[in-house]
């Protein structure tokens, strides 16, 4: 079905290559199932996106057409002189548009640091969402992902997660103070705004039974919250803290009322074929150095982010080695 209109010429492939392709397609299907609890709208959009990715991935592996995976990414980046990075442009202060329209933020600083290490002067920033960032990576449209991506077991079957993880967040809600929400159980049966593709949507739905109203991106969900379309906005507490501490008067009557749950490490994503190759190793080494040198802690201060216990702990651990 994926190849009904394809004009790709087949090549000889081994049984092992076909097994690899099948395994990766199965991983995409697992992600479709993971997203299935986000609501009808999210399920429809996610299925379309992920099925396209599964088809593209099958073609790349079975028919041998993906040059992005067939060649070493590090060599490709050096050859073209540009590092192409999937980033967020709606997640202040990790990746957002400044008043001039330029994409800036902590994760953009990390992208520039990697490019400098490789020795290329140009960084192409490609805005991605939770729903398409892994698809873009496996299609070869970007070289790596630095986009607030939670490190989950299901995602590890699809993309390579670089360790040590560069950050960590947890799940919470943003809500009007007038809502008087005190416990997670207060969300039961109430409309809660969420973003398509967020890993915690399923867990919160299963545990606390809110009625999720799913939007394609963070600004859409925040606008819906302010418009009174839902009682709260479900997201990573890092963004919520940043939103509340940003000084924007429109959030003066909002709060993060609950205890954060389900701590989640963030990872830089590379293609699975790159994870243990030269490109993946370079990014791993840089992540170690960022922690050990205190660079990540410095970036927190630069961008006005409250110090992360995870960064403090990892810095102490690696400095002691």
DSSP string for residues in 47-83: HHHHHHHHHHHHHHHHS---HHHHS-HHHHHHHHTEE
- Asked whether residue 5 is assigned to any structural domain, the reply reads no
- Asked whether residue 101 is assigned to any structural domain, the reply reads yes
User: Do 45 and 123 reside in the same domain of the chain?
Assistant: no
User: Do 185 and 206 reside in the same domain of the chain?
Assistant: yes
Pick from 292, 287, 289, 285: nearest CA to 316: 292
User: Do 181 and 247 reside in the same domain of the chain?
Assistant: yes
Query: What is residue 308's predicted lDDT score, i.e. its pLDDT?
Result: 85
User: Do 46 and 29 reside in the same domain of the chain?
Assistant: yes
Residue 249 to residue 194: CA distance in whole angstroms: 22
Q: Pick from 264, 293, 308: which residue ends a domain?
A: 264
- Asked whether residue 87 is assigned to any structural domain, the reply reads yes
Across 272-287, average pLDDT: 97
- What would you report as the CA-atom Rg of the chain, rounded to the nearest whole angstrom? 20
Residue 116 to residue 63: CA distance in whole angstroms: 35
- Asked whether residue 8 is assigned to any structural domain, the reply reads no
The tens digit of pLDDT for each residue in 50-95 reads: 555 555 555 444 434 344 444 589 999 999 999 999 999 988 889 9
Pick from 138, 90, 93, 142: nearest CA to 114: 142
Across 152-162, average pLDDT: 95
Confidence of residue 277 (pLDDT cuts 50, 70, 90): very high
- Asked whether residue 21 is assigned to any structural domain, the reply reads yes
Domain count across the chain: 3
The tens digit of pLDDT for each residue in 31-54 reads: 554 444 344 444 444 455 555 555
Name the least confident of 63-77, 84-98, 246-260, 277-291: 63-77
Query: What is residue 141's predicted lDDT score, i.e. its pLDDT?
Result: 97
Angle at 238 between CA 233 and CA 243, to 5 degrees: 60
User: Do 241 and 197 reside in the same domain of the chain?
Assistant: yes
Stated pTM of the model: 0.70
| Start-to-end CA span in the chain (Å) | 52
User: CB 164: neighbour CB atoms within 10 A?
Assistant: 16
Residue 171 to residue 174: CA distance in whole angstroms: 10
Query: What is residue 28's predicted lDDT score, i.e. its pLDDT?
Result: 53
- Asked whether residue 146 is assigned to any structural domain, the reply reads yes
Find residue 87's DSSP bridge partners.
Answer: 127
User: Do 78 and 206 reside in the same domain of the chain?
Assistant: no
Across 178-182, average pLDDT: 96
- Domain span at residue 247 reads 169-264
Decide which of 50 and 233 is more confident. 233
The CATH number linked to 120 is: 3.40.190.10
């Amino acid at each position: 079905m994926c190849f009904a209109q394809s004009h790709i010429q087949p090549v000889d492939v081994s049984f092992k290559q076909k097994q690899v392709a099948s395994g990766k397609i199965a991983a995409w299907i697992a992600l479709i199932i993971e997203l299935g609890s986000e609501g009808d709208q999210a399920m429809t959009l996610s299925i379309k996106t992920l099925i396209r990715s599964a088809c593209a991935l099958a073609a790349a592996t079975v028919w041998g057409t993906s040059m992005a995976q067939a060649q070493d990414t590090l060599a490709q980046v050096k050859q073209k002189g540009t590092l192409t990075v999937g980033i967020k442009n709606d997640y202040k202060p990790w990746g957002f548009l400044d008043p001039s329209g330029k994409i800036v933020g902590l994760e953009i600083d990390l992208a520039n640091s990697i490019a400098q290490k490789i020795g290329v002067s140009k960084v192409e920033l490609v805005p991605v969402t939770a729903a398409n960032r892994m698809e873009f990576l496996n299609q070869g449209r970007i070289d790596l992902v630095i986009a607030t991506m939670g490190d989950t077991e299901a995602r590890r079957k699809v993309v390579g997660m670089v360790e040590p993880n560069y950050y960590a967040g947890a799940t919470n809600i943003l809500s009007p103070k007038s809502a008087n929400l005190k416990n997670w159980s207060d969300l039961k049966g109430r409309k809660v705004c969420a973003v398509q593709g967020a890993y915690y949507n399923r867990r919160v739905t299963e545990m606390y039974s809110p009625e999720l109203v799913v939007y394609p991106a963070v600004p859409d969900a925040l606008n819906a919250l302010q418009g009174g379309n839902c009682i709260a906005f479900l997201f990573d507490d890092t963004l919520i803290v940043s939103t509340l501490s940003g000084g924007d008067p429109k959030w003066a009557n909002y709060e993060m009322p609950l205890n954060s749950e389900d701590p989640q490490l963030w990872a830089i994503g590379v293609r699975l074929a790159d994870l243990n190759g030269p490109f993946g190793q370079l990014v791993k080494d840089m992540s170690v150095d960022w922690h050990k040198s205190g660079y990540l802690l410095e970036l927190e201060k630069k961008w006005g982010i409250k110090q992360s216990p995870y960064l403090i702990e990892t810095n102490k651990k690696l400095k002691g080695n």
